[in-house]
Structure 1
Amino acid sequence: MAILRWPDGRTRPLLVDGRPVLPSGVYVDSTGTIHAGRDAERMAQVDPGGYEPNPKQRIDDGAVLLAGREVPVADLLAAVLRAVARAAGEAVGFLPPAVLTYPAAWGSLRRQTLQDAATRAGWPQVRLMPEPVAAARYFTDVMRRPVPFGGTIAVFDFGGGTLDVAMVRREATGFTVLGWGGAEDLGGLDIDAALVAHLGQQLERTEPAAWQQISQPATELDRRHRRQFWDEVRSAKEMLSRATTASVAVPGVSGSLHVTRDELETLARPLIRRGVAELVATAERSRLTPADLSVVFLVGGASRIPLVAHTLHTELGVAPTMLEQPELPVAEGALADLIAQSAPPQQPPPPRQVPAPAPTTGMFDTRTGIPTSGVPHPVPLQRPPMPAMPVSAHPAPAPVSATPVSPVSPRPAPVLPPPAFPYQRPMPMPVPPPPRRRSGGKTALRVLLILTLVFGCMGGGVYTLWQVIKPKPTFQKLSQTASIKVEGMTETDFATAFLTEKKAHTVTQVGRAVDVTTLDLSTSTTKGKKIGDAAKWSQALMIGDYIVALAEPENGKRQLVGVNNIDGTEWTSAVGVDGILMVGDVHPTTGNAMPLLWLDRKTNQMSRISSVTGKVASGLGTTTIGLPAGWRLLGRTNPSTPTNVVLVAAGGAVWDIGSKDPKKVADIPDTAPVGRVGFDGLVYASQKTEYQVSTVSASNSNPQPAFRGPANRSPVWISGCSKGSDVCVIDQVGTDESSREFARYRSGSSAEQVWRVAAPDADLDRPMQSLGGDYDDRYLIVNTTKGGTVYNTRGATVATHKGALVGININRAFVFTGALGTKPSPVTLLGLDLDNELQTSLGTPTIRASGCWWNSTSLICPGAKDYTVWKYAK
């Protein structure tokens, strides 16, 4: 998009090839000539190998292979700028100075590439300006909307190929970008792709030949039909912003398809919610809340979809503002900024004392402009009440906005996470005189061309023939890769499995023995061993290459066996009739292999048993530790997860029995719900309404008040939310389980309720699973007796299912629906990509779901007579 300003102050869009918007795609022909815009789109129908629809997304590649040639990215960008230069010359008779806007996230190397492209395109003078600064200037100067000094404008730029968001603060000398974010793989193209896939399912049933031609083009005619279909879908999407239903013509078919606004919104909602989450995350990184925003300003063509404004308003509580032509604000805002530079600076009202951000001495990443060290936290600004802003009906995708230019004033530039770069306008540039051949009246013409290149918004939006539909699910239909048959296996006896990246282990009761079989996934070779003698086997653990199995009590003892099919070793031992078996960590004083921990309820002792020999060994530190009478284990839901910190509660106290010298951690109320938080900490709540929650740790046994719960509710479960310090609690009114709610709190000096949701009939045996990294979670799974719900860190619902929800890693989960017992039965399995809110049906195998195990790509489950290994992801 380019805007021309004439001497009398009039502005108008520059027409390129007769249209105000130029697609940014480029095409390299057989001679090496680079074509831009609609010419490139047309030529690409015949030969897609020479076409690049989104040069902006290749900014870091240096060169791109097109039509068998390596073409510098600067040359691809120059082709687009050259098309604009040609149109500008035709309009005014000479090539005026230009301003190019760029995403805020672009560092010096990316900006230099853009500058080089302008030079190669023949532009005599070019200035660069951050996109969100231009958008903010349009909002205040062109729209004349009030934003106080110190107020913040959230620019939500939803374009065809990317989403860019930025927090821009208004100051007396201009605008400062406090922080930016977005997604390079989220835009209007993705909504088009979702709609194409949806309509393709209908077309595949009614006109399979036509869909085959569109989805997998093999000839020039096929490619033309595919292009026409995508154009039809995009036009229907745009029509649904104004109407409730639209038709889609299918090339080569006499009939047409119909799509409704409800269908479009169902498909677009997960993508738009992801964009809203990006805006919230950017605000949080800038130390802002929705209440701190003076306005949310929507720009970019994809923001026309009414659901964008509605979702932003619903989730943020801030009414967004946008225009009928959301492509214009960045371009015309850059022009407004240039005009404003001739005016004297405005004087803000007497400022409140707000500490300035500390300057950083850290180094900067030359590609992104982000400091690698020394970044202080920004100081949130309080703003006076603002009049309500109009809700706009159409948000749009846009590129990430703007990196700042060096300030003129000597004061240090504030650096915030993401770093804040003050942008100040440079001195005006001279406008060259028109050529002498112009008449006297025309020689007075002075033109300033404001050129905004939102690369990828149009080129990729119009021509998506060779792009893969996005966002892509990481799951795929179950495909069997191996089978393990166990001689004598029945449908009723104990069966479970373990899976690593290279090995699959099965543990099966066969008669009175237990069969341990190991499959090498790379060579497809198996080794097996039958061991033990017991009427019923009921538990198995994997410790490195060892598989350990535990039998039920018989004749006053329980048999414990270990098998290592890699080196062929085995052992048999015995433990007490009642207790808990789990894995301990490598002992800190010996460095020996992980031991087994047996917590005996009858003798009130914990023993350390070697996983290599099956014997209680002195080499593992204190071999036998006394437990307080009536003890109960705290915070252990997975016995296979190694730990050094073993906490038990009894007699109004909590004891750490995992260390070499067991010690009492804290005194707590006997009836208090107690849970683990952090590495060695505890959190507990009094059993009262308006309950007090406190924390203690092994290093500090003095209780620290964390927060108070609601006045009318009593806690029934409590735990740390993740490896961080947040606390999660389930409480209810009286004894009413249907009134249960799940809440997340920050504890300590910043005690506050982060969010709270209804969780009727929450399952206290497996209430929560945290999916996240080393120090914090990305999602929380809250389980009830009827299913489970996935929440993000803000408490927004990501997915709800009636089946059993289990996490795989930080952003993926399984849903098992069906009879999840120990007998073979059909189980429907779903894969959830939580970041994109995508759901993939994996299949309905007949399995014993209680014995399944998985790694990041494969799943193994016992069936009636054998075990099956499936691939569920690449």
Structure 2
Amino acid sequence: MEIQPGQTVGIDLGTTYSAIAQLDPEGNPQAVENADGSTITPSVVILSEEGKVIVGPTYERMSIENPRNIVEAIKRQMGNKDYFVVYQDKKLTPEFLSALIIKKLKQDAEKSIGPIANAVITVPYYFNDVRRKATQDAGKIAGLNVIDIINEPTAATLAYAWQKGHLGRPDAFEGERTIMVYDLGGGTFDVTVVRYTATSFKVLATDGDVMLGGLDWSRRVVDHIAEEFHTKYDLDPREDPETLMQLTQECEQAKRDLSERAQIPISAYYKGKNVTIALTRGDFERLTGDLMQRTRDTTELVMQQAGVGKGELDELVLVGGSTYMPVVETMLRDVTGLEPSRDVSPEEAVSQGAAIHAALLEARATGGDSRLGKAVINRLRSVTATDVNSHSLGVKISDPQDKTRKINHIMIPKNTSLPVEVKQRFKTNKENQQRVHVCILEGDATDPDACTTIGDFRIVNLPPNLPSGSPVEISYSYDKNGRFSATAVELTGNTAAKTEIVRDSGLTNENVDAFQTLAGDYQVE
């Protein structure tokens, strides 16, 4: 990893809001304000018909725009090779659209902190390798040197432990703490249990859902109002994009208001008809009860995998704007026996943790930044971290009970501490086999088709007349930087082959360069 001249920051690239932060000279992670004076920027892109690209528009600005020109929740499409938006006769991928959001964050922040060169960008823990590559590409397209990708709950833990004065301070903090980070954002959900001391922190277990967040709560309200409207008038307001956008904004606001109030009126207007429905907090919680139950199930599973029971956590930290819903606190009190903590800003903690991680990498790579005080640099250098893999890694093999069927044999289970190396022996399937195909899978399912293939390679030129059942040793190695390698050796003739998968680029270098040039052509407002 090479640090380039310029400022180094942390970026929280969120589904509904994004943020950028930097460690100040005294070691305090500070969210950097955008051009509107806010520390969070809506992750919304307007590709206007006049050729303007507007990132982070207000609701008022969105309301006067054709909904077909508005791109929202692009994070949910990261890694989806089939998704694109056509604008000015060009196909814009999720990486490019995300790069426009990053470009806006960078452009606004540079007005107060100067030219930005390096960044750590956050991802949900449960992002697979394809989505992580797409995020890294988005940063590159925006003109940044992406020095690392960090998991969002890990970043939030860093922010919590650092701002508590625990991390990097063995003189002031003894012993260890086990905390849980419950992160419910606009579009993704993670829950993670971490154990840390003054000089180290270790992820014990993590799980989540990249398709669960505040957007889903809002959509339930939209559907409820639309169905009431349909019952009354036999018309569906969701059929019209402008009406749907207006109703969605109203329901989003109602969801927020219900965190403070017991009841809120919601109105829908369509084709000269209207309904006004009084939605109570109880109604809202009933409509979305199964969504909350999904987060509860995940929370209980992670606690079980981490080996901590009710009442055994030292702290429960809430992250993400959707944790303001009162039912979140009620559920978590019941599951953990703890009063949830808001000692870090739910909206800013992730970007602040990314900023700490960025400063830590910078301090190690450059011997310290003159911007930061010596005490801060020493504090950063004293911290070590142990992460875990969020997805199981397996190999496609023939089912021992049914040779005609292929299964995913897990080599490295999820929540395994990194780095790790695993070796296992397998057998050839037939007489005089000429080659062995090693297919690397990411996922927990037994069915290979339900997993993601992240790489494959072959051992060729096996010895002649090789008997069926000859031994083949496969080795998987996964380092703490996300670099994964696999080796296979046919042991009779000692023939070997290997592959290495580096989270380098989902797009080709030519694609990234072309998109970088295109991003330079768009003036982001």
> Shorter-chain TM-score category?
0.5 to 0.7
SS at match of 1:373: strand
- Shift, 1:372, TM fit: 3.9
Are 1:74 and 2:95 matched, yes or no? yes
By relative contact order (CA 8 Å, sep 6+), the higher-ranking structure is 2
Residue 83 of structure 1 aligns to which amino acid in structure 2? K
TM-score of the superposed pair, with normalisation by structure 1? 0.37
Contact 1:16 1:84 in 2 (8 A): no
- Shift, 1:66, TM fit: 1.5
Are 1:329 and 2:349 matched, yes or no? yes
C-alpha distance 238-148 of structure 1, shift in aligned 2 (>3 A)? farther
Take 1:30 and 1:245, find their aligned partners in 2: how far apart are those partners? 39
Partner of 1:185: 211
Partner of 1:156: 182
Residue ranges of structure 1 left out of the alignment (5+ in a row): 218-222, 349-355, 380-402, 408-874
- Shift, 1:373, TM fit: 0.2
Larger Rg: 1
Are 1:241 and 2:316 matched, yes or no? no
Q: Pick from 33, 50, 60 the counterpart of residue 79 of structure 2.
A: 60
SS at match of 1:314: helix
Matches within 5 A, 1:326-725: 326-337=346-357, 338=359, 342-343=378-379, 372-375=410-413, 405-406=480-481
Aligned-residue Cα RMSD (Å) equals: 4.1
SS at match of 1:166: strand
Take 2:48 and 2:186, find their aligned partners in 1: how far apart are those partners? 25
Contact 2:159 2:356 in 1 (8 A): yes
Are 1:300 and 2:320 matched, yes or no? yes
- Shift, 1:310, TM fit: 0.4
Partner of 1:570: none
Once the two structures are superposed, residues 13-43 of structure 1 have per-residue CA deviations (whole angstroms, 9 ceiling, x without a partner) of 4224453322223355679886533289957
Once the two structures are superposed, residues 227-251 of structure 1 have per-residue CA deviations (whole angstroms, 9 ceiling, x without a partner) of 2222121112111111212222434
Contact 1:115 1:126 in 2 (8 A): no
Once the two structures are superposed, residues 835-873 of structure 1 have per-residue CA deviations (whole angstroms, 9 ceiling, x without a partner) of xxxxxxxxxxxxxxxxxxxxxxxxxxxxxxxxxxxxxxx
Once the two structures are superposed, residues 52-89 of structure 1 have per-residue CA deviations (whole angstroms, 9 ceiling, x without a partner) of 42222222223523137532332122111111111112
Matches within 5 A, 1:182-261: 182-206=208-232, 208=233, 212=236, 214-217=237-240, 223-251=241-269, 256-261=276-281
Are 1:21 and 2:37 matched, yes or no? no
Matches within 5 A, 1:752-767: none
Take 2:347 and 2:186, find their aligned partners in 1: how far apart are those partners? 11
- Shift, 1:112, TM fit: 3.3
- Shift, 1:299, TM fit: 0.7
- Shift, 1:307, TM fit: 0.7
Take 1:306 and 1:40, find their aligned partners in 2: how far apart are those partners? 25
Q: Which range moved further: 266-275 or 48-57?
A: 48-57
Take 1:111 and 1:44, find their aligned partners in 2: how far apart are those partners? 33
Once the two structures are superposed, residues 411-432 of structure 1 have per-residue CA deviations (whole angstroms, 9 ceiling, x without a partner) of xxxxxxxxxxxxxxxxxxxxxx
Q: Which range moved further: 168-177 or 156-165?
A: 168-177
Partner of 2:142: 121
SS at match of 1:60: coil
Take 2:198 and 2:344, find their aligned partners in 1: how far apart are those partners? 29
Partner of 1:426: none
Are 1:88 and 2:88 matched, yes or no? no
SS at match of 2:84: strand
C-alpha distance 329-374 of structure 1, shift in aligned 2 (>3 A)? closer
Contact 2:393 2:413 in 1 (8 A): no
Residue ranges of structure 2 left out of the alignment (5+ in a row): 1-18, 168-172, 361-375, 396-407, 418-477, 483-525
Take 1:93 and 1:115, find their aligned partners in 2: how far apart are those partners? 22
Partner of 2:334: 314
TM-score of the superposed pair, with normalisation by structure 2? 0.59
Contact 2:123 2:149 in 1 (8 A): yes
Take 2:409 and 2:200, find their aligned partners in 1: how far apart are those partners? 23
Residue 94 of structure 2 aligns to which amino acid in structure 1? V
Partner of 2:20: 2
C-alpha distance 229-40 of structure 1, shift in aligned 2 (>3 A)? closer
Residue 285 of structure 2 aligns to which amino acid in structure 1? E
Take 1:108 and 1:314, find their aligned partners in 2: how far apart are those partners? 34
Residue 123 of structure 1 aligns to which amino acid in structure 2? L
C-alpha distance 110-149 of structure 1, shift in aligned 2 (>3 A)? farther
Partner of 1:276: 296
- Shift, 1:313, TM fit: 1.0
Take 2:62 and 2:383, find their aligned partners in 1: how far apart are those partners? 55
Q: Pick from 90, 111, 116 the counterpart of residue 132 of structure 2.
A: 111
SS at match of 2:80: coil
Partner of 1:769: none
- Shift, 1:272, TM fit: 1.0
Take 1:110 and 1:153, find their aligned partners in 2: how far apart are those partners? 27
Q: Pick from 122, 134, 146 the counterpart of residue 101 of structure 1.
A: 122
- Shift, 1:49, TM fit: 4.8
Residue 55 of structure 2 aligns to which amino acid in structure 1? A
C-alpha distance 109-29 of structure 1, shift in aligned 2 (>3 A)? same
Contact 1:103 1:131 in 2 (8 A): yes
Partner of 1:167: 193
C-alpha distance 233-363 of structure 1, shift in aligned 2 (>3 A)? closer
Take 1:129 and 1:330, find their aligned partners in 2: how far apart are those partners? 10
- Shift, 1:257, TM fit: 2.8
Take 2:388 and 2:40, find their aligned partners in 1: how far apart are those partners? 42
Take 1:303 and 1:172, find their aligned partners in 2: how far apart are those partners? 28
Take 1:234 and 1:293, find their aligned partners in 2: how far apart are those partners? 33
SS at match of 2:42: coil
Take 2:344 and 2:75, find their aligned partners in 1: how far apart are those partners? 25
Residue 128 of structure 1 aligns to which amino acid in structure 2? I
Take 2:44 and 2:250, find their aligned partners in 1: how far apart are those partners? 19
Partner of 2:474: none
Contact 2:315 2:338 in 1 (8 A): yes
Give the percent of matched residue pairs that are identical in Structure 1 and Structure 2. Answer: 24
Contact 1:135 1:329 in 2 (8 A): yes
- Shift, 1:92, TM fit: 3.4
Equivalent pairs counted in the alignment come to 363
Residue 411 of structure 2 aligns to which amino acid in structure 1? S
SS at match of 1:64: coil
Contact 2:44 2:70 in 1 (8 A): yes
Take 1:44 and 1:310, find their aligned partners in 2: how far apart are those partners? 35
Is the helix fraction higher in 1 or 2?
2
SS at match of 1:156: strand
Contact 2:204 2:388 in 1 (8 A): no
Partner of 1:843: none
SS at match of 1:293: coil
Take 1:265 and 1:113, find their aligned partners in 2: how far apart are those partners? 35
Take 1:110 and 1:136, find their aligned partners in 2: how far apart are those partners? 22
Partner of 1:289: 309
Contact 2:313 2:336 in 1 (8 A): no
Contact 1:63 1:71 in 2 (8 A): no
Once the two structures are superposed, residues 271-321 of structure 1 have per-residue CA deviations (whole angstroms, 9 ceiling, x without a partner) of 112101111112333444344432221110111001111011113333322
